[in-house]
Amino acid sequence: MIQFRDLRKAFDDNVVLQGFTLDVADGETMVIIGFSGSGKSVALKHVVGLLHPDAGDVIVDGRAVSTLDRAGLTALRHEIGYVFQFAALFDSMTVAENVGLGLVRRGLGDEEIAERVAEALALVDLTGTDAKLPAELSGGMRKRVGIARAIALKPRYILYDEPTTGLDPVTSAVIDRLMVRTREHLGVTGIVVTHDLRSAYTVGDRIAMLYEGRIRQAGTVAEIQRTTDPVVRQFIEGRPE
Amino acid sequence: MIDRIGRRAVAAVQAIGRFGHFLADVARAVGDFSTWRGPVLVQMRRIGVDSLPVALFIAAFTGIVLALQASYTFTGTVPLYVVGAVVGKTIMLELGPVLTGLALAGRVGASVAAELGTMKVTEQVDALETLAYDPHAYLVVPRVLAGTVMVPLVVALGIVTGIVTGWLTSLALLDLSTAEFLKGLKLLYRFKDIWFGLAKSASFGLTITLVGCRLGLGTRGGAEGVGLSTTRAVVYSAMLILVLDAFWAVVLL
């Protein structure tokens, strides 16, 4: 279970999170929506300790992330897969090396790494791309390699940062299907940060809207679609005012 | 005015503090042998072997010029075989390490800062962390170790090259014999000349890679930030090399 507890974070004078509180239950996929620059990705980075909160904390299975020492943080990161907005693939490595890098860190043998890489690439329909470099892939393929890198770890949790941003509708639908398939296949708990509502409705069990540094409303997909909250309505209807 | 000076002073102290933290992180990461042992060989090739052409090119022409200038200075006043002493001594003690160091500040410092800066702004450094790697162990330690070990080796080959081109110039253009050149070379030679030059070069390699890594990992923004880090890495490394050069001269000579 992942719990955001009164999380506060500012960058100089720019207050991004001010009392962000949210629970993500085991096995569910929670989608966090919100306007661009509202702090969705900032919240996500706190889960793996990439950012340190000014106050509050993220609790993962009872562990307060900001209090973990290096060994504790390493153990936590072994349980979490992270899919970055622009994939963040290592330019100098092949697809197979990118997907297998986390497994090397976990001390797996070469044979097992090769098996897990092949399995992960098959799951994202990229079998045969092992030897390609990231520069040779399209944007959608890069995102799928990013997902393969996360699922190869067989994590308990997967965090997706804007997984469909910048993709055409068909490729976005492919990524959505992939996220659903990953959850069914691995039974992982997921947090998806996005402002793509079609994606949110497809992959989310629950949706939470982040507004002005805290959760404005959280509920099931149906509850969000029926909301009477003016800010949430404006967002889901895409009205300028 | 006072406000601006105060802000700059605070910023300078903060920068020193951040560099201190960075050094502590790097020192701790040296213990993570399993992470850096693979990448260190790649970096030794990139920083050392790939720098050889530019280093040897500089050394070759330095040897030629030194021999000719020494001859011009000494003709009619000092026996010409002293050309060998000037070429050997100057290249070993000063020009070999410093010219190579400045050239590598441009080549290696810029390359390290640009590579790590790009990795930083494209979230590749964050990705490494989420895969449970320590970026200091995976990215910084291999580069710093490779720089500290390989720069003296490159300088050593540069010194040999400079002396050889100085000798060939003396034979071809100065009417000196090999025996005379060697006589001059041995005249003022002390073993300290070699180890002083190489120890100094190791400190240059350490400085170039540390500065490049720190500025690369501290990059903010996009392409502009990478460009700024790269420029700063070259300028700061070059300045520090000259400061270190004076420091070692005061301490060790």
pLDDT in tens, A15-48: 999 999 999 999 999 999 999 889 999 999 999 9
Radius of gyration of the CA atoms of chain A, in A: 18
Element (H, E) at B203: helix B191-217
B122 touches chain A (CB under 8 A): yes
Dump pLDDT digits (tens) for B41-99. Answer: 999 999 999 999 999 999 999 999 999 999 999 888 888 899 999 999 999 999 999 99
B129 touches chain A (CB under 8 A): yes
CA distance A88 to chain B (A): 5
Average of per-residue pLDDT values in chain A: 92
User: Dihedrals φ, ψ of A189, to 5°?
Assistant: -90, 135
Chain B residues within an 8 Å CB radius of A81: 130
Confidence check: pLDDT of B253 > 80: no
pTM of the full structure = 0.89
Check the CA dihedral A196-A201-A204-A208 and report its sign.
Answer: positive
User: Dihedrals φ, ψ of A37, to 5°?
Assistant: 80, 10
A165 — pLDDT class (breaks 50, 70, 90): confident
Our count of domains for chain B comes to: 1
Which residues form the domain of B136?
2-252
**Domains defined along chain A, listed by start:** 21-37+68-237 (3.40.50.300)
Q: CA nearest B130 in A: which residue? A: A77
Dump pLDDT digits (tens) for B180-239. Answer: 999 999 988 889 889 999 999 999 999 999 999 999 999 998 899 999 999 999 999 999
Interface of A with B in 95-114 (CB under 8 A): 101-102, 105-106
- What pLDDT, on a 0 to 100 scale, did the predictor assign at position B252? 83
Dump pLDDT digits (tens) for A173-191. Answer: 888 998 998 888 888 999 9
- What pLDDT, on a 0 to 100 scale, did the predictor assign at position A174? 86
Helix extents (H) in A10-52: 40-47
Strand partners, A157: A80, A189
Average of per-residue pLDDT values in chain B: 94
Q: How far apart are CA A207 and CA B23, in angstroms?
A: 43
